[in-house]
Amino acid sequence: MPKVPSVIFSLMIALYSLTTHSAVLSKPPIQLATQYQPDITVAEYLVSEKLDGVRGYWDGRQMLTRSGRKVALPASFTLGFPEVAIDGELWLGRNQFEHISALVRRLDTSAEDWQQVKFMMFDLPDHPGTFVERYLAMQKWAEQTDPTHLQVIKQDTVGTTEALFDRLDSVVNAGGEGLMLHFKQAHYAVGRSEYIVKLKPKYDAEAVVIGHTQGKGKYRGQLGALIVKTPAGIVFNIGSGFSDKQRENPPLIGSVITYQYLGLTQKGTPRFASFLRERPSQ
């Protein structure tokens, strides 16, 4: 059998890849969120639960992942979907991310596999209106479609920062991941946007150790807290998250540590910060 030239063989492989269901198409033009900052006026945003599913982009004909991979959905799933672009989340329910992620990656699924999955709409990329107007339009689309698979993520106005964090606590305690905030008067803008904000119970960040405080009670003679400084110049104490060994031999002044925190205070100080680990020296 004659040997196939390497160039032709490479072209054959590329052509085969393009014809498979797993081929990666162009990445969809989606909007990306930024992290919550304490200086926003909460009442100017609509607030919804941050769903722990897989980001989906319906382009009017097919469902794509954030990376541009086509999702092998059965025709029954998208029956009645509008021929407009929809940004949303393929969702099975709280704490089901591993299951929906595995399903989205499969190529040999059936209608039964997708029976419990919902495509939760949270935006209309091509709609020219504000987010409030887009939300109303999504509700109309949902009313005209079988709600088995196409639904709208509920949005609410929350009046104060205190009420926002009460809402966060309620969602997290019920098994949710966090909250999303959409600026009511914003238009859809592709890329990272300050007008869509995510608020999760814990973030990771780094800071430099600039001091130690002495422990009290059972920690007498050991570390009480680290005094740290963020890249933005915020100085605060971290007094939790340490093992007994770390309290006896705490990170040295000048070392870089990673901590977790729950949002920021009005002054920009991390809320409920706890030590996570010390970054290895380079």
Q: Give the DSSP H or E segment for 97.
A: helix 97-105
Token digits for 118?
A: 């919902």
- The contacts found for 95-99 with CB under 8 angstroms, 24 or more apart, are 95/52, 95/175, 96/52, 96/53, 97/52, 97/53, 97/54
Residue tagged active-site, from 3, 50, 70, 140: 50
Query: Measured between alpha carbons, how far is 43 from 222 in angstroms, rounded to an integer?
Result: 45
Q: How far apart are CA 162 and CA 170, in angstroms?
A: 12
Task: Report how far apart the first and last C-alpha atoms of the chain are (Å, whole number).
Answer: 55
Find residue 86's DSSP bridge partners.
58
d(CA 160, CA 221): 42
Structure-token match 């009313």, residue found: 143
Q: In 10 A of CB 223, how many CB atoms? A: 19
Tokens matching residue 271: 């809320």
Are the CB atoms for 263 and 40 separated by under 8 Å? no
- The tokens describing 230, both together, are 């963020």
Residues with Cβ within 8 Å of residue 18, at least 6 apart in sequence: none
C-beta separation of 225 from 194 below 8 A: no
Does 50 qualify as catalytic in the annotation? yes
Could you list the active site residues?
50
